[in-house]
Amino acid sequence: MVGLSEVRTWRPAALETVFDQLGRHRDTLVGLDDELSDAKAPEGWSGEAADAAGRRHDEISEEMRRLVAGIAAVRRGTAEAADALVAVQQALTEAEELARVNGFQVQDDGVVLDVAPPQVEPSQVETVRRERELVRAEVIERIAQVVRRAADIDADLAAILTAAADDAVDDGDAVSLADAESAGADQGALSTLGPPESDNPAANAGWWNSLSEEEQAQLLQDSPELIGNLDGLPASVRDEANRAQLDGERQRLEAEIADLEAQLDDRFLGGWFTDLDDRLDQAREQLAAVDAIETTLDRGDRQLLLFDLSHEQARAAVAVGDVDTADHVAVLTPGFTTTVQDSLEGYDNQMRDLQRQAEDESLRYGDGGSVATVAWLGYDAPQADLGLLNPKEAVWSPQPAQRGAEDLADFYRGIDASRTEDPHLTALGHSYGSTTTGYALQQETGVDDAVFFGSPGLGTSDVTDLQVPAGSTYVIEARNDFVADLGGTAPFGIDPNQMDGVTGLSAREEQLPDGRRLNESEGHSAYLAPDSTSQYNMSVIVSGNADRAVHDDGRGFGDWLSRPVPGTY
pLDDT of residue 569: 39
Q: Tens of pLDDT along 277-323?
A: 899 999 999 999 999 999 999 999 999 999 999 998 999 999 999 99
Distance CA 156, CA 447 (A): 40
* Summary mean pLDDT of the chain: 91
β-pairing, 315-320 vs 302-308, is antiparallel
Can you state the angle between helices 177-186 and 48-101, rounded to 10 degrees?
Answer: 30
Count the residues in the chain: 569
How many CB atoms are located within 10 Å of the residue 208 CB? Answer: 23
Least confident of 22-31, 373-382, 437-446, 490-499: 22-31
Find the range with the poorest average confidence among 228-237, 261-270, 392-401: 261-270
Q: What is the mean pLDDT of residues 87-112?
A: 94
Instruction: Identify the helix (H) or strand (E) that includes residue 174.
Output: none
Question: Could you tell me whether strands 517-518 and 510-511 are parallel, antiparallel, or unpaired per DSSP bridges?
Answer: antiparallel
> Using DSSP, how many helices (H) and how many strands (E) does the chain show?
16, 12
pLDDT, position 273: 64
* Residue that wins the pLDDT comparison between 458 and 560: 458
Contact yes or no for 178/69 (Cβ under 8 A): no
Asked which of 33-37, 71-75, 197-201, 429-433 is least confident by mean pLDDT, the reply is: 33-37
- Does 217 have pLDDT greater than 60? yes
What is the structure's pLDDT at 567?
Answer: 42
144-154 pLDDT, tens digit per residue, is 999 999 999 99
Containing 425, the helix (H) or strand (E) segment is strand 424-430
DSSP string, 204-268: HHHHHHHS-HHHHHHHHHH-HHHHTT-TTS-HHHHHHHHHHHHHHHHHHHHHHHHHHHHHHHH-T
Query: How far is CA 428 from its chain centroid?
Result: 19
Residue, of 154 and 52, whose pLDDT is higher? 154
- Of 378, 375, 444, nearest to 416 (Cα)? 444
In angstroms, the CA 366 to CA 546 distance is 10
pLDDT band at residue 274 under the 50/70/90 scheme? confident
CA distances from 418 to 94, 101, 403, 415 (A): 12, 17, 23, 5
Instruction: Break the chain into its structural domains and give their ranges.
Output: 4-222, 235-561
Distance of alpha carbon 197 from alpha carbon 324, whole angstroms: 24
Among 501, 547, 464, 474, residue whose Cα is nearest residue 130 = 464
pTM of the model: 0.90
pLDDT number for residue 53: 72
Residue 565 pLDDT > 50: no
Per-residue pLDDT tens digits for 407-420: 999 999 999 999 98
Residue 554 has pLDDT above 90, yes or no: no
Q: Which CATH class is domain 235-561?
A: alpha beta
Q: Given CA atoms 49, 55, 58, 63 in this order, what sign does their dihedral have?
A: negative
